[in-house]
Structure 1
């Protein structure tokens, strides 16, 4: 299954979570619920996936963690903030570059409609 198909499924599941919970909760609540829904759908999902940084052939654990990684292909960076900004996009791109992932979704659940808080992020590798 390709990244685009995975992302369509995940967006649908995220909308279900958002419709059930609405805006205003902590990021961790949305992360746990979306993790549950993705896992229940049969897709492989990892939570708080550690992303090491390699510098001059040395592996450094700098505390980078992907919120959710689906099928070892799709990076999900979840937020519950007033508005997404460039720092959130940079964070998502950093995870994608470190792991050599092609596609990511930056999701802000603190909106009335999830589609208004959704940003598709492509890494040109």
Structure 2
């Protein structure tokens, strides 16, 4: 299911990029992507809180996931010149903490959306 689901999310991201192009704020892309995903009937959570557990104790701090789709795929949105290893490490950490397998890193600040898509797996 998740491979199909990531494909649907990528398709929605491509549609958003096709409609509004690069160069806007991350929050605009997030709002548009939420609309596209909801139109597809997908269940999602925006700015989803992920608690931090350190040595068995829950800390007051939390991570905020940009999107959690169908409780299966973490989607992190960026509007940067280029994705770095740090962006990938951040998403992998989120996947490990959430105990999820599939993640998408989407950078909307690219001429063609396919250049800004990274699929990550937490094995």
Which TM-score band applies after superposition, normalised by the shorter structure? over 0.9
1:25 aligns with 2:53: no
| 1:61 Cα deviation from its structure 2 partner | 3.3
1: CA distance, partners of 2:110 / 2:79: 8
TM-score, reference length from structure 1: 0.95
CA displacement, residues 28-87 of structure 1 (integer Å, 9 cap, x when unaligned): 100011011111210101000001111222111323111001000001000000000011
TM-score (structure 2 length as normaliser) = 0.97
Asked if 1:66 corresponds to 2:79, the answer is: no
The residue number in structure 1 matching 2:54 is 55
* Cα distance between partner residues in 2 of 1:58 and 1:70: 27
Does the 8 Å contact 2:52/2:62 carry over to 1? no
Moved over 4 A (4+): none
Root-mean-square deviation (CA), in Å? 0.8
**Partner of 1:95 in structure 2?**
94
User: Is 1:105 aligned to 2:109, yes or no?
Assistant: no
CA distance in 2, matches of 1:98, 1:51: 8
Unaligned runs of 5+ in 1: none
Q: Tell me which protein shows more strand as a share of its residues.
A: 2
Deviation at 1:107, TM superposition (A): 0.6
Structure 2 residue runs of 5 or longer lacking an equivalent are: none
Tell me the CA shift for residue 14 of structure 1.
0.6
Matched length: 123
Hey, what's the Cα distance between the residues in 2 that align with 1:19 and 1:76?
A: 19
